Structure 1
Amino acid sequence: MKKVVLITGASAGIGKETARVLAKNGYTVYAAARRLDKMQDLQPEGAHMLQMDVTDDDTMVKGVNDIMTREGKIDILINNAGFGSYGAVEDVPIADARYQLEVNLFGAARLTQLVLPSMRQQQWGKIVNISSVGGKIATPFGGWYHASKFALEGLSDALRNEVKQFGIDVIVIEPGGIKSEWSGIAFDSLVKVSGHTAYQNLARRFADTFKTMEPNSPEPLIIAELIQKAIEARRPKARYAAGYMAGPSLFFRKILSDNLMDKAIMGTLKK
């Protein structure tokens, strides 16, 4: 029988490309996002579209129930919905910070709660949490984004050992730089929030530096194929990483002290 996949944040970037890749490779794919109009191009490729907002419990419950009614199971959950809201910790309104965590952390946690009963019953399942290199390394102005991804990493580690007994794997994907809408949204919010505050000079240096790196980032396909590799592995690793500077960044995080890591990060910023 075909494996049934639910993937959130499927209206663009990594989510859309993963839905496309898995649908082409024989999976029954339910592509979920707030706006159905952004996913129309997935329908001819065999994906089913699902309206879902990961900050709205009713839409999450309805979405999972609808899939269970049609398919009788959800084999793989890919928690991909997320965004980066950038700005100095002092400048970001707490309401915006809460929303960042609602989308990037609590939405993933709630969907996980909703799919686990059926996965436990069938004694098989895969939960894939899309974290980031930013779940291990924090840069200036990404405080709340990094907080959400660091938390998602910790949640995944706890969950992995809780559900292993039921034949369920928990896999973390840590993308580095990838061409997507993500960076535009992040840097627009940075300029809006901290572009005219006491942090404006450092904020502009940060934005200028990372904009020059964007052309080196690969297309989302590299992460979509990594996700497919992970879910098809007989014994998947706890973590997979790919994308611009993912490998070197995670390697240096392992070997450098906090002080040296801070110097390395700040040393990359344009003067």
Structure 2
Amino acid sequence: MQKTILITGASSGMGKAATILFAQHGWTVFAGARRTQLIPTGENIHPLALDVTDHASNSAFVAQAMTGQTRLDVLLNNAGYGEFGPLEEVPLKAARQQLETNLLGAADLTQLVLPLMRRQGFGRIINNSSIGGDMYSPLGGWYYVSKHALNVWSDTLDTEIRQFGLRSIVVEPGGTESNWSTIAMQHAQANLHPDSPYQALTTGFLTVFERFLGTSSATSADLAAVFYQAATAKRPHRRYFNACSDRLVARFARVHPEMFAQLMAWASRLALGVAKYARAK
């Protein structure tokens, strides 16, 4: 039978690429996003309106997708963004929105689909996290909190649903060519207070961050292929990475926390030095 997947955040980046890839492989794809006009069109793709921070929207999304469907193979919790900025100055309203989008939206949708998956005896929850789920850096505090939490939530869920033949899996992208970084950097600037003491750190860090991402070779299509691997592997792993370098960074941060903390302190000094150099020019 034709397999079915629900994909959130399908209007751009990895979600859009995944929508195209799964449809090309013959899956029935129900692609959700707030901007439905940006969701890809084509055979096997069904665009649906979705705001993952709204329970009514999540319920309607699942109900519409499952109308007339006899199976659900995968829920891909992809929707997310980066609420960057110094922790002293990021409004808690923005922090709550970050958690609602990156964590609680995935949890809500998962609760909605698990009864069906349990009844049919198969299914996978794939959660698009980040190597930020194992590490941290200046200015990304609330984003990293949301991804750390998503990882722990997914791992806990996996221990609970394996008994039913189900799996919960985490994918941890590293630097990826998408509009994610642009949006994250816009938030970092917007969250700065007037005459903020973190202006130099933010300016320098954004410069370093953009240069780092500019060297990234990963594309949204690369990550879509990782999602597909996680969805179709006979014996899926608990974690998936696109590149060995992503896996190494995540492992280094977990296994050597003191050394990683020193590295981030150095990164902060580097960012301040870059900002100072830019002012001198």
Q: Same fold (TM over 0.5)?
A: yes
Superposition map of 1:149-168 within 5 A: 149-168=147-166
Equivalent of residue 91 in structure 1, options 89, 92, 112: 89
| SS of 1:139 mapped into structure 2 | coil
User: For residues 57-96 of structure 1, what are the alpha-carbon distances to aligned partners after superposition, in whole Å with 9 as ceiling and x for unaligned?
Assistant: 1111011111121213322100000000101111011111
Between 244-253 and 205-214, the greater mean CA deviation after superposition: 244-253
Quote the residue 1:174 is aligned against: 172
Give how far 1:38 is off.
1.0
TM-score of the two chains, using structure 1 as the length reference: 0.95
| Secondary structure in 2 matching 1:71 | coil
Tell me the C-alpha RMSD between the 2 structures: 1.4
Aligned to 1:18: 18
Greater mean alpha carbon deviation, residues 18-27 or residues 186-195: 186-195
Partner of 2:172: helix, strand, or coil? Answer: strand
Question: Is the contact made by 1:178 and 1:243 (CA closer than 8 Å) also made in structure 2?
Answer: no
Name the counterpart of 2:231: 231
Cα distance between partner residues in 2 of 1:152 and 1:54: 15
Q: Which residue of 1 aligns with 2:103?
A: 105
**Conserved 8 A contact 1:88-1:143:** yes
User: What is the match of residue 276 of structure 2?
Assistant: none
Match of 1:132 among 118, 125, 130: 130
Counterparts of 1:227 and 1:253 in 2: how far apart (Å)?
24
**Counterpart of 1:12 in structure 2: which amino acid?**
S
Q: What's the CA shift for 1:178? A: 0.2
Count how many residue pairs are aligned between Structure 1 and Structure 2: 268
Distance, in Å, in 2 between the alignment partners of 1:64 and 1:31 is 11
Task: State the one-letter code of the partner of 1:237.
Answer: H
**Hey, what does 2:7 align to over in structure 1?**
7
What is the identity percentage for the equivalent residue pairs of Structure 1 and Structure 2? Answer: 41
Secondary structure of the residue that 1:78 maps to in structure 2?
strand
**Cα offset, 1:194, TM superposition:** 2.5
1:194 aligned counterpart, secondary structure: coil
Look up the equivalent residue of 2:242 and give its one-letter code.
A
CA displacement 1:102-128 (0-9 Å, x = unmatched): 000000000000000000000000100
The answer to whether the 8 A contact 2:27-2:44 is kept is no
In the TM superposition, what whole-angstrom CA distance separates every residue of 1:180-221 from its partner, at most 9, and x where no partner exists? 111000011112212741111111111110110122222111
Structure 1 residue 27 and structure 2 residue 56: aligned?
no
Letter in 1 for 2:149: A
Give the match for residue 203 of structure 2: 204
User: 1:215: which partner in 2?
Assistant: 214
Residue ranges of structure 1 left out of the alignment (5+ in a row): none
Q: Does residue 247 in structure 1 map to residue 247 in structure 2?
A: yes
Structure 2, gaps ≥5 residues long? 274-281
2:263 is aligned to: 264
Change (3 A) 1:81 1:109: same
Task: Please say which of residues 202-211 and 100-109 is displaced more in the overlay.
Answer: 202-211
- Looking at structure 2, the residues matched to 107 and 54 of structure 1 have their Cα atoms a distance apart, in angstroms, of 5
